[in-house]
Structures are given as structure tokens and as C-alpha cells.
Amino acid sequence: MESSILESIGVEIIGVMSPVSICMFLVVLLVYSLSSDNPFSSPDSTIRTAANLVYVENPSDSVSQKLEGALLNAVVFVILIAIVTFLLVLLYYYNCTNFLKYYMRFSAFFVFASMGGSIFLSLIQKFSIPVDSVTCLLLLFNFTIVGVLSVFAGGIPILMRQGYMVCLGIIVAAWFTKLPEWTTWVLLVALALYDLVAVLAPGGPLKLLVELASSRDEELPALVYEARPAVAPRTGGGGGSALGLLVTGAMESEQVSSSSIELQAVPRRNVNRNDNEIEILGGNVDNYVVTMGDFRDEDSQSVRDGEEERSPLVGNSRGGQFSSADNGRRFDGREGEIVEEMSPLVEMGNNEGQVMSRDGVEIVDRGIKLGLGDFVFYSVLVGRAAMYDLMTVYACYLAIISGLGCTLILLSVCRQALPALPISIMLGVLFYFLTRLLMEPFIVGTATNLMMF
């Protein structure tokens, strides 16, 4: 009686939307607090990165000049990304996972330490926080090390990993917002298009990667946010089905120091089945079950009995086809993942779930996964909107979130990896310009006369 259907529908969607919202919110705050007088975002100190390799935008240039330059920038950037993605696919194909792994650890370290560090520095300057350099260095070092560990090692609370994923997204997005305006818009659109091609077209690098990963029955090698919180160490027990919960990813970021973009690929962590890990696994089984319990609705008892419970994955999907226990247990182990590898995609892999057996209960957990690139570029869009006005921020936020919702609904219908950028970015850009051009004069005109409706 107490548990109505309202509580069980849409849990997964909200699980993805809330971190995205948090990420966007923090980026907007960051952009706001840093946008005035400080070197971090002052326009004259434009840093040359891979995203504006060809053309450095100058406010005094003519419109056609800006457009042309921005287009060139975007094309170069996308080509770079495509090359690096293919490289990643090749490396993955030849099983160079160790190389990828260490390289990505280094990249994460680099992002946290230098890019994060410079953001912290400008925050300290901005708010005149009294902190001495030794303390600051120590704190930054600790933050970085824990960050690298939590992103790439098992046995770390999932909440922490999620937190650091969001942090990573925020840091990279904050740097991307330093790009000049025209370049940002064209770049976003170009990336959305690239994402569409890379994930859906036959032979697209991300599609290849996904297929490769699923044919090896492994996780995708990409940096991914996992929406399923209950599963702390995602290690599979039982029959040794897929485990490496550690999803890895590649994310691109501009590296200021080298003044070129480097793609930072995060390799997927291979599952090391050594005793230690199994011990961890064993130690965590109880945890796991308990957490599941919290999430379970009453009737999921029936799930225990082996009945298939059908409940909609997404409100209006064809629910009958999806058997899913409300909380991420499912027996056929589909796993939705949104994976980003330099650019995001949403993947719903087949049978990639982890099976966990204990007491004869087979629990397969599933989660929607959202690539870090989605976080980054959504936040870039909102951050860019924040430089204009708060109104555009709200409009873009709503547009992006609804685009994400559409993507997730499509995901449950198509059941394959989907790009998460195109719908959201297109809606976001559309709403930005509609708001800026149409709505703002209307709202300001009526509201300043104190007329509302």
C-alpha cells in the first residue's frame, strides 16, 4: 500500500541526472565567481590549446572571420580527437591495457594536480583565503592522490569515486569555458555531430570500441560515471562474470602546458583476480547485500524467488521487454552504459551485467553509465551560457536535462550504445539562442514594469 509506483519509476534517470546537475551547477558557480577580475579567465590571456590551434579569436574580428576561424578550430579539434580515439582503439585491440592504464593514471594525476591546482589557486586569490603554500601544496597533493586512487582502484566507496568523477568533469569543463565564444559554440556542435558519427556509423571508432569490449566480455575502456550507487566494489563473484567495475575512459582535455591537446585516455582496468581482490570481494558481499536491501521495494522479494519482475526502465519505454528489478538487479543482465571516450556515448551493452551469487540469489547489477565527456561538454555549454545571463543558464539547463532524458528513453528502446551529446547539445544551443534573442527582451520588458502572469 505504501509503496506506489511513483517511487520506483525513473530511479535510474534521476541517478544520472542528479550528478549531471550538480556538475553543471558547480561549473556555473565557478564561472560566476571567477569570471570577474582574475587571470584565470581574463580574455587577453587566451591560452593556445588544441581547441584553438588554428585561429585565435579576437573580439574585433568580423563575424565571417570569426565564423571561419571557429569552424577551422572545430574541424582540427574533432580530427585530433578522432585520431586519438582510433589510437586508443588500436591499443585496446592489441591489448596494451597496461600502457593505457598507466598513461591514464598519469593523466588523471595531471588533471587533478595542475588544472585543478590552478583553479584552486585562483579561488584562493579571489576569496583571499589565508592559506600558506606548504599547507596548500599538501592538501592539493592529498586531493590528487586520493583522486587518482579512487578513479582507478577498487575497494573505494562508490560515492567517493562518483564524487571524483564529477570533480574531474568540473575541472576540465572549467578550463573549456576559457575558450572564446564562437569557438565554443561551433566546437560543441561539431563534437555533437562527431559523437553521432563515432557511435552510430559503422566503423566509427567508438562503435568499434564498444563492440570490441562486448566481444571480449569486458568493460568499456573509458572514463565513465556509474549511476548505480549501491554496488560498492563492483567485482563479480560467482562464476566470474564480468567484473572490472572500473570503467575507464578517455577524456580529452586541453593541456595548457604543452599548448596542445592531449587526449587523456583512461584505460580500463583489467580485473586482477588476485587473492587480495577476492578477499575484498568477500568482505564486501555483506555490504552489497545490505545496500541492495535498502533499495529494494517490498515486492522485490519475488525477485529473490527467481521470478522476473517487470518494471519499466524508463517511464514510457516498452516496459514489457525489460525485465529489471527495481534496483538494478536483473536477471538478464543488460547493462546500460553511457560511455565516454573522448566524447560520450551511451551504451547499453548486452549481457554485461555482473552476476553475483550468494545464498542462491543471483543478483545482476546494472547501471546507466554516463561518460565523463558528457559531463564536461554539458557543463561547458551551461558555463558559457552563464557568461551571458542567468536566464540562459536555466534555459540551457532545462534543455540539456530534457535532452538527456530523451537519450535515456531512446536507450531503453534501442538497447545499444547511444551518443549522449547530440540531442542535449542541439537542444541546449537552440534554447540558448532562442532565449537570448527572443525571450530576454520580452521578460525584461514586462518584468521591469512589474507585470507578470
Partner 1 sequence: MTVAAGIGYALIALGPSLSLFVSVISNKPFLILTLLSSTLLWLISLILLSAIWRGFLPFTISLCWPYAILILTSVSFQEALRIFFWKLYLRLEDMLNAFADRAAKPHLFLTDKMLIALAGGLGHGVAHAVFFCISLLTPAFGPATYFTDRCSQVPFFLLSAIIALAFVTIHTFSMVIAFNGYAEGNKVDQYFVPVVHIVAGMVTLINWAPGGCTVGIPILYLIAILTLTHCGRMVSRRLTENRIRADHS
- Concatenated DSSP letters for 300-314? GHHHHTTPPPB--SS
Compute the distance between CA of residue 282 and CA of residue 278 in angstroms, rounded to an integer.
Answer: 6
Classify strands 369-371 and 224-226 as parallel, antiparallel or unpaired: antiparallel
> In whole angstroms, how close is the CB of 25 to partner 1 at the nearest point?
13
Instruction: Please give the grid coordinates belonging to residue 256.
Output: 595548457
Residue 227: partners with Cβ closer than 8 Å, 6 or more residues away? 12, 15, 16, 19, 367, 368, 369, 370
- Compute the least distance from the CB of residue 412 to partner 1, in Å: 13
Which CB atom, from 28 or from 292, has the smaller least distance to partner 1?
28
Compute the C-alpha angle 313/314/315, nearest 5°.
125
d(CA 416, CA 411): 7
Report the run of H or E that residue 275 belongs to, with start and end.
Answer: helix 275-295
Number of Cβ atoms within 10 Å of the Cβ of 357:
15
If the CB atoms of residues 272 and 316 are measured against partner 1, the closer one turns out to be 316
Nearer to partner 1, 25 or 394 (CB): 394
Q: How far is the CB of 34 from partner 1 (least distance, A)?
A: 14
> Which is nearer to partner 1, 35 or 291 (by Cβ)?
35
The verdict on whether 374 is a catalytic residue reads yes
Cα gap 428→332, rounded to integer Å: 35
Supply the minimum distance, in Å, between the C-beta of residue 397 and partner 1.
Answer: 10
Give the list of residues 6+ apart from residue 342 with CB closer than 8 angstroms, or none: 81, 84, 85, 88, 250, 251, 252, 263, 265, 373
SS (H, E, C) 51-77: HHCCCCCCCCCCHHHHHHHHHHHHHHH
Distance separating the N- and C-terminal Cα atoms of the chain: 40
Tell me how crowded residue 142 is: count the other CB atoms within 10 A of its CB. 10
C-alpha cell at 339: 560511455
We find the least distance from the C-beta atom of residue 216 to partner 1, in angstroms, to be: 34
**137-145 CB contacts, 8 Å cutoff, 24+ apart:** 140/113, 140/116, 141/113, 143/112, 143/116, 144/109, 144/112, 144/113, 144/116
Residues in the chain: 453
CB of 430 to partner 1, least distance (A): 10
Looking at beta carbons only, is 57 or 226 nearer to partner 1?
Answer: 226
Least gap, CB of 245 to partner 1 (angstroms): 24
Taking a C-beta distance cutoff of 8 angstroms, is the pair 147, 108 a contact?
yes
Closest CA to 188 of 37, 337, 379, 418: 379
- Point out which residues bind partner 1 (CB under 8 A): 1, 3-11, 13-14, 17, 299, 302, 309-312, 315-316, 319-320, 326, 389-391, 394-395, 398-399, 401-402, 405, 431, 434-435, 438-439, 441-453
Nearer to partner 1, 392 or 416 (CB): 392
Residue 331 or 431: the one with the smaller Cβ distance to partner 1 is 431
Which residue is associated with the grid cell 568499434?
A: 208
Task: Please give the backbone phi and psi of residue 356, each rounded to the nearest 5 degrees, phi first.
Answer: -130, 125
In the complex with partner 1, which residue's Cβ is closer, 86 or 394? 394
Q: Which of 174, 173, 120 is nearest to 144 (CA)?
A: 120
Shortest distance (Å) from residue 302 CB to partner 1: 7
Annotated catalytic residues are 195, 374
